[in-house]
A and B are shown apart, each in its own frame.
Chain A
Amino acid sequence: MGKYIIKRILIAIPVLIGITIIDYGIMCLVGSPLEMMQGPRVSAGAIEAKEIALGLDKPFYVQYFIWLGQLLQGNLGYSIKSSQAVSVMIGSHLGPTLLLMGVSLLVSLLISIPAGIYSAVHQYSKGDYAVVTTSFVSSSIPSFFLSLLLVYLFTVKLGILPSSGMTTLGTGGGAADVAQHMVMPVIVLAVSMAGSNIRYIRSSVLEILQQDYMRTARAKGIGRFRVIYKHGLRNALVPIVTVIGMQIPTLFGGAVIIEQVFSWPGLGLMTMNAISNRDYPVIMGVCLLSAIVVLVANLITDIMYAVVDPTIQLK
């Protein structure tokens, strides 16, 4: 087990280096962030001074190694726009995003696990047909359109839910207030994930139901419910772990759009602002962080396989 984890981490390192290089290559194509500050009131000398201060006068590969060296010391650089440390900016925006992602993932699993199992157990019934059809529609709705529909319904028409931010301005906030602000973004993220999750869990459970040990369990004469929930569900944990692992990158991407629509003060909103300001230390920091999260999520998924399924041998 320990050996396997070390091997996986060693494989991940070249991927990670590749990620930083590609990341940096893309950023070099962006053009200079100094173009943003050009204007009649800024002298050429001031721009030059800024260029040297930011190290932008050096060749790009030197800049890359400077950046990488600082990275190894835990320094992600400073925002060009606000001069804040990138790590501090990420730290302060990470909380809301993790809260939103975590709750959405949980809600989507709470919808898709029972729905997927129900659908598989009642294959080709009307209920199954309805679940599968709904799941296709839910993964075909653009998340921003669903957000607009929800805002139209709950904020404009019914006036019961706030449409933007994380807390009501002027109040101290508090858990209930945050929860109220979270309802719509969580629904949108959970729905967009639930569609593919339901179909994935359904087809995995269908496969399990055809296994010999399920027939044996039924032949023993224990009830249908116990067969499915004692023998079936435990084995269905493997596909469920896969689903969670698959959703992490999707969640990160989905959060960018949702946070923009609902003005949720998380990493996504910060990233969108950084992108429009060409604030590339911030963009690189976020890309690096998210790539690491994805790599770690993949690693944890693989390890979880071994935990839930003892027949998988890790080499």
Chain B
Amino acid sequence: MGKRSQEEKFQEKKSREKKIQENTIIMESYLQTVFRRFKKHRLAMVSLIVLGILCVLAILAPVIAPYDPNAIVGDFGAAPTKEFWLGTDQIGKDVLSRLLYGMRVSLLVGVLATLISTVIGVVLGLLAGYFGGIIDMVIMRITDIVMSFPYMLLVLVAAAIFRPGMWNMILILGFVDWPGIARMVRGNVLALRETNFIKGNIVAGMSVPHILFSEILPNTAAPILVYATSVLALSMLDEAALSFLGMGVQPPTASLGNMLNGAQSLTVLTNQPWLWIPPGLLIVILVTAINFVGDALRDALDPKA
């Protein structure tokens, strides 16, 4: 008797292992398909590599930056030399070091703002789509209200009220960017709720949080990911614009946007191009790369293609 049950257990274990193996194979092959399709988009591959390098540079900024970004190390507004590759700013800080640290701040603002808005948008979208009725109506009306404000105006007003600064900037962008994601998730949930497997889950008596987050969410993950890349690109542009206007990240902390702030004066614009062209170009490169990656992801994750 004992031997038999051991044998049974062994068999069971084996079949379970086989199942897990099968599952992992399916998982891998899905990711492989996505990656294979992604690789077809050559510009996006280049963008991904560029983004990777820039992110590493940003993360390693404290190690590789030649000078302290906030320390006065050279002449005032000196042109690029061997010592200072990108010159110095009006009060003698090294532009290259500030550029590396600024990229760090800009990426951090973009990523965290995107995370916040994605979480808010996903949760509200799931609730509105799944429960419908009055909850749906209230959430969608709030979405309408937030969407009716011209985006930039809302952010500017909020930035003026909550004292400009990096963390406030992250919160403001995060709390303003979510309506698009909420609408998209709601639409997907409405469609998914009618499918048999979700109906099956309801009949099986699964808890609502489980159905929402473990059954429905993974099935709308792909469009959310694509949408999040465009939100990332937009929030980095907004951070730059706000910091440029002096309503965002405040000096002495460098961000790519506030490094361009000096170019509002005509002397800097005319005589010291090394102060404003590199950070501007870096923003363009970062945002373009993110947009290309997002576009390729959209194609790669599209189940119809």
The binding surface of chain A is classed by DSSP as: helix
Q: Interface with A: B2-10, B56-64, B149-157, which one?
A: B149-157
Q: Interface with B: A45-53, A63-71, A283-291, A306-314, which one?
A: A283-291
A to B contact number (C-beta, < 8 Å): 119
Partner of A145, one of B157, B273, B280: B280
Partner of A15, one of B43, B141, B269, B280: B141
Cβ B287 vs Cβ A143 within 8 A: no
Partner of A133, one of B43, B141, B142, B263: B43
- How many chain B residues touch the partner (CB < 8 A)? 43
Which residues of the other chain, A, contact B145 by a CB distance below 8 angstroms? 15, 18-19, 22
Q: Interface with A: B31-39, B75-83, B233-241, which one?
A: B233-241
Partner of A29, one of B149, B161, B288: B161
Q: B244: nearest residue on chain A (CB-CB)?
A: A144
Partner of A148, one of B144, B148, B269, B291: B269
A168 CB-CB contact with B under 8 Å: no
A44 CB-CB contact with B under 8 Å: no
Cβ A283 vs Cβ B157 within 8 A: yes
B127 CB-CB contact with A under 8 Å: no
Which residues of the other chain, A, contact B260 by a CB distance below 8 angstroms? 144-145, 148
Which residues of the other chain, B, contact A19 by a CB distance below 8 angstroms? 145, 148-149
Report the minimal beta-carbon distance from A100 to chain B, rounded to whole angstroms: 14
Cβ B141 vs Cβ A14 within 8 A: yes
Which residues of the other chain, B, contact A18 by a CB distance below 8 angstroms? 141-142, 145
Q: A156: nearest residue on chain B (CB-CB)?
A: B270
Interface residues of A in 109-148 (CB under 8 A from B): 133, 136-137, 139-145, 148
Which residues of the other chain, A, contact B270 by a CB distance below 8 angstroms? 152, 156
Alpha-carbon gap, A41 to B118, bound state (A): 50
Cβ B291 vs Cβ A156 within 8 A: no
Cβ A290 vs Cβ B149 within 8 A: yes
B283 CB-CB contact with A under 8 Å: yes
A75 CB-CB contact with B under 8 Å: no
Which residues of the other chain, B, contact A271 by a CB distance below 8 angstroms? 153, 156
B274 CB-CB contact with A under 8 Å: no
The binding surface of chain B is classed by DSSP as: helix
Interface residues of A in 169-220 (CB under 8 A from B): none
Which residues of the other chain, B, contact A257 by a CB distance below 8 angstroms? 152, 241, 245
B160 CB-CB contact with A under 8 Å: yes
A84 CB-CB contact with B under 8 Å: no
Q: A293: nearest residue on chain B (CB-CB)?
A: B150
B227 CB-CB contact with A under 8 Å: no
Alpha-carbon gap, A72 to B42, bound state (A): 58
Please, what's the 1-or-0 string for B230-262, where 1 marks a CB less than 8 Å from any CB in chain A? 000100010011001100000000000100100
A276 CB-CB contact with B under 8 Å: yes
Interface residues of B in 258-305 (CB under 8 A from A): 260, 263-264, 266, 269-270, 273, 276, 280, 283-284, 287-288, 290-292, 295
Cβ A286 vs Cβ B158 within 8 A: no
Partner of B149, one of A260, A276, A287: A287
Interface residues of B in 96-125 (CB under 8 A from A): none
Alpha-carbon gap, A148 to B241, bound state (A): 12
Q: B257: nearest residue on chain A (CB-CB)?
A: A142
Which residues of the other chain, A, contact B150 by a CB distance below 8 angstroms? 249-250, 252-253, 256, 290-291, 294
Partner of B160, one of A250, A261, A276: A276
Partner of A275, one of B160, B162, B287: B160
Which residues of the other chain, B, contact A15 by a CB distance below 8 angstroms? 141, 144-145, 148
Partner of A291, one of B148, B158, B233, B269: B148
Q: A254-B152, A283-B157 are in contact. List 9 more A-B contacts (CB 8 A).
A: A26-B158, A140-B233, A140-B287, A142-B283, A148-B260, A149-B280, A156-B269, A249-B151, A291-B150
Partner-A contacts on B (CB < 8 A): 43, 141-142, 144-145, 147-154, 156-158, 160-162, 233, 237, 240-241, 244-245, 257, 260, 263-264, 266, 269-270, 273, 276, 280, 283-284, 287-288, 290-292, 295
Task: Provide a sorted-by-A list of 14 A–B residue pairs whose CB atoms are within 8 angstroms.
Answer: A26-B161, A136-B288, A140-B290, A144-B260, A151-B269, A250-B150, A260-B245, A283-B157, A290-B150, A291-B148, A291-B150, A294-B149, A294-B150, A295-B148
